[in-house]
Amino acid sequence: MPKLNIQSEIKKIDWDFTNAETQYLTHAVHRYSGKFIPQIAQAVIKLTTKTDDLVLDLFCGSGTTLLECALNKRKSIGVDLNPLAVLISKTKTTPIKASMLDNFYTEIEEYSRGFSKNESLNLDLFEETGQSSDEIEKAVTQDFRWQDNWFVKWFREEIRFELIALYRKIATYSCSECRNIGFTAFSDILRKSSNAHSSYPNVMFDKNKTPPPLPTPRFLERLKEIISAVKKLDDVLKPDYIPIVIRSNANCLPLPDCSIDAVITHPPYIGSIPYAEYGILSLGWLGHDHKYIDKILTGGKRQSKDVVERFRNDFRMILAESWRVLRPGKTLFLMVGNPTVKGQRIDLCEMTKELALPIGFKLQGLHTRNGINRRANLMGLESLMFFQK
C-alpha cells in the first residue's frame, strides 16, 4: 500500500455520513447501544489496510467493524467481554446456507403452533409436532425459570410459558449457528415482552404496565427478518474472511506480539452507556449475571466514585496491548466521545493522547464529527484518532 498522509486523507471524507443507509445486510439484526455506523468502519478499513490484512476490534459490540472487514476482504478478530455482544456479532457475520435456515425456521414455527395461533395457551396443538401437550407443559413448568423470582418479576405467566418453551426449543437445535440466530431473535423481543418501562433506555420495572402481547408471533416475525438478512451473507462473504469472535478481556489479549495489521475500535464511553444494564433481560435468559458483567466491563460500575480512574487504568492497559499486538508501522484507530460522568465532562480525546503517546504511539491524524444518535448521552463532538506504532 502506498504511504498515505492520513491527516490529508481524512479531511476528504464527510465523516457525519448524513442520511447514509446504516441497516443493510445484517447490521440491524439486534439493537445495541453505542454502535458506530458501518460507513465509518468501512472508511477507516479502506484508509488503513489492504486486502487480506488482519484487523482487530477490541470492543466489537454488535460486530459492525467485523462485518465491514469481511465485506472488504479483510480478515478480522472481534473481542468483547459482553456475551450478548459476542452472540450478536457471530449472528451478524456468519453465512449459513439458505436451506439450513429454512429448515430451522420451519421446525421452530411448527413447534410453536401450540401457542402462536391464539391469545390463550392451546397445548393440544403441540401433538401435531410429535410432542404431547403433557410433555411440553411438564418440561416448561419444571424448568427453573418457571418459578424463579427474577423471571417471575419481569415476565407474566402466560408470556413466561411461551418464552421458556421457545428458549428450550432453540437450545436443543442441532446447528450451533442456527441456535445463535434463534437466540438473537429471542433476545431482541424480550424488552417488549417484559414488564419493563417503555419510556426509558434503562430497564426499569413498571408495575402498572399494560400486559404485553404474547411473544411468539413477534419472535417468529423477528426470526424471519434475521434469517432473511443472514441469507444474503452467503452471496457476499467469502470463507477466508469470516471473522473470529471471542469473549475475552481487551487488556489481556490471547494474541501473539506483532500479529495485527490494524486495530479499529470504538471504546466504551466510561459510565455513560450501561451496556450490561441495558442488556439485563437478554443476559438473564442467556445465563449471565448482569451485575458481574458490569463489574468486569471497561467503563462499568458507572455509579462508583472511582469510575473515571478505573477506566483510565484499564484504557492504559488496552492501549499497551494494542501496541503489543500491532505490527510496526501499523495503525490504531479509535473513535471517542466526551461523556459526562457525575456532572463532569470527560475529554476522552485528550485522555487518549495522554495515555497513548508515552506508550510509543505517534498521532497520525485527528478529525471530529458530530456525535449524533447518542440516546440520553449528549456526547457532542466525537474524535476520530489515528495512531501509528
Give mean pLDDT in consecutive 10-residue pieces for the chain, a chain of 389 residues. 76 91 96 89 97 97 97 98 96 98 95 59 46 72 96 96 95 97 98 90 86 94 98 96 96 96 90 76 94 78 76 94 98 90 84 97 94 53 95
Alpha carbon distances (Å) from 83 to 247, 276, 301, 342, 369: 7, 10, 17, 28, 30
The torsion region of residue 37 among left (phi > 0), alpha (psi -120 to 50) and beta comes to beta
CB proximity list for 372: less than 8 A, separation 6 or greater: 16
Angle at 334 between CA 330 and CA 339, to 5 degrees: 165
- Can you read off the three cell numbers belonging to residue 187? 433476545
Least Cα distance to 127 among 106, 109, 111 occurs for 111
pLDDT computed for residue 363 by the predictor: 97
- Bridge-based pairing of strands 344-345 and 340-341 is antiparallel
Q: Give Cβ neighbours of residue 69 (< 8 Å, ≥ 6 apart).
A: 41, 45, 55, 75, 76, 241, 243
The reported pTM is 0.91
Task: Name the phi and psi angles at 329, rounded to 5.
Answer: 85, -5
CA atoms within 13 A on the CB side of 359: 23
Which domains, and CATH codes, for the chain?
Answer: 6-95+240-388 (3.40.50.150), 104-236 (no CATH)
242 neighbors 230 (Cβ within 8 angstroms) = no
What is the model's pLDDT at position 99? Answer: 97
**Residue 250 cell numbers, joined:** 481487551
pLDDT at 129: 46
Query: How many Cα atoms occupy the beta-carbon half-sphere of 198 within 13 Å?
Result: 9
Residues 6+ positions from 160 with CB-CB distance below 8 Å: 145, 146, 151, 152
